């Protein structure tokens, strides 16, 4: 029976992914900053552990407590919306600490056991924002683009040891972590000069076309976890699939 460790399971994609893997019969280690039984009640084959991906001590304690794992899903992330001009560097660092350095630190903590066993899989959850440029999310996109490049290179680096690395690229989910976890990283980040642009974006987001559900992401993470091909990128959600197809077509021209 395989074991998966998933970060950022308090809500959204991580929570649904934990539920999905558990339903498929896997051992699941679901991590979040503050474990809550009302989110993931006690169950056989399910462990909920505290984890702050921005803390080396927390990462080391969680990895040690988890024991051998087969798959790491780096899902924990925070959103950031606003004009980059008005974004303090403290916010820039906060976003990168979680979305970028947190992913790298978790990966670095589990790779030794994967390499020693010559098996294992790292799945990094990024965003469809990496597939097509969008205004007012320059910071968020940058933090995710860094992981795209990191993952693509790491796949080659670890492949010689039989360790696989994959990317899952979710589309826009109105009820998921991007909107709910932006918090103070939105407030006051839209100067008057940018207001017309921001208003157009907000209007578009209020009436989106096909969007991504948490279940879409969970199913694609599951598919990536069981994929034995050389495929690196897995768009998740109808909007992300469409963006990926458009990007691929543009590159082919």
Q: Which domain holds residue 53?
A: 3-252
Mean per-residue pLDDT for 57-78? 98
Is 13 noted as a catalytic residue in this protein? no
Task: Name the pLDDT band for 71 (thresholds 50, 70, 90).
Answer: very high
What's the rounded Cα separation, in Å, for the pair 214 and 170? 9
Task: Name the pLDDT band for 210 (thresholds 50, 70, 90).
Answer: confident
Beta strand pairing call for 27-32 and 46-50:
parallel
Tens digits of per-residue pLDDT, 87-112?
A: 999 999 999 999 999 999 999 999 99
Give first-to-last CA distance, the chain, whole Å.
45
Query: 47-83: buried (b, 16+ CB within 10 Å) or exposed (e) per residue?
Result: bbbebbbbeeebbeebbeebeebbbbbbbbbbbbbbb
DSSP per residue over 182-249, as a string? TGGGTTT---GGGHHHHHHHHHHHHS-SS---HHHHHHHHHHHHT--SS--EEEESHHHHHHHHHHHH
Least confident of 13-27, 99-113, 167-181, 198-212: 167-181
Apex 95 CA angle, 173 and 102, nearest 5:
95
Q: Are 29 and 3 in contact (CB under 8 A)?
A: yes
Q: Rounded mean pLDDT of the chain? A: 92
Q: Are 81 and 137 in contact (CB under 8 A)?
A: yes
Q: What torsion do the CA atoms of 33, 220, 104, 52 make, to the nearest 10 degrees?
A: 0
What pLDDT does residue 62 have? Answer: 98
What's the rounded Cα separation, in Å, for the pair 249 and 152? 20
Task: Name the pLDDT band for 203 (thresholds 50, 70, 90).
Answer: confident
Tens digits of per-residue pLDDT, 142-176?
A: 999 999 999 999 999 999 999 999 999 999 987 55
State how many domains the chain has. Answer: 1
Q: Are 90 and 32 in contact (CB under 8 A)?
A: no
Q: Is the pTM of this model over 0.85?
A: yes
CATH of the domain at 195: 3.40.50.720
What's the burial of 250, exposed, middle or buried (CB within 10 Å: 0-12/13-18/19+)? exposed
Residue 161: partners with Cβ closer than 8 Å, 6 or more residues away? 114, 115, 118
Q: Are 207 and 141 in contact (CB under 8 A)?
A: no
């Amino acid at each position: 029976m395989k074991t998966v460790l998933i970060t950022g399971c308090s809500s959204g994609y991580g929570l649904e992914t934990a539920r999905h893997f558990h339903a498929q019969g896997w051992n699941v280690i679901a991590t979040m900053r503050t474990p809550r039984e009302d989110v993931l009640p006690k169950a056989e084959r399910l462990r909920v552990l505290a984890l702050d991906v921005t803390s080396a001590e927390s990462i080391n304690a969680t990895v040690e407590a988890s024991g051998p794992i087969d798959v790491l899903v780096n899902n924990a992330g925070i959103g950031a919306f606003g004009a980059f001009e008005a974004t303090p560097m403290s916010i820039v660092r906060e976003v990168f600490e979680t979305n970028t350095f947190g992913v790298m630190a978790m990966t670095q903590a589990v790779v030794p056991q994967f390499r020693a066993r010559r098996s294992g899989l790292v799945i990094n959850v990024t965003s469809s924002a990496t597939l097509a440029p969008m205004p007012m999310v320059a910071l968020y996109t940058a933090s995710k683009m860094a992981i795209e490049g990191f993952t693509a290179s790491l796949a080659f680096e670890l492949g010689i040891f039989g360790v696989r690395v994959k990317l899952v690229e979710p589309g826009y989910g109105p009820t998921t972590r991007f909107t709910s976890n932006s918090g103070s990283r939105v407030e006051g980040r839209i100067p008057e000069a940018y207001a017309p642009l921001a208003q157009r974006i907000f209007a578009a987001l209020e009436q989106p076309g096909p969007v991504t559900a948490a279940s879409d992401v969970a199913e694609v993470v599951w598919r990536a976890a069981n994929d034995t091909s050389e495929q690196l990128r897995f768009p998740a959600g109808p909007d992300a699939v469409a963006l990926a197809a458009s990007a691929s077509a543009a590159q082919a021209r």
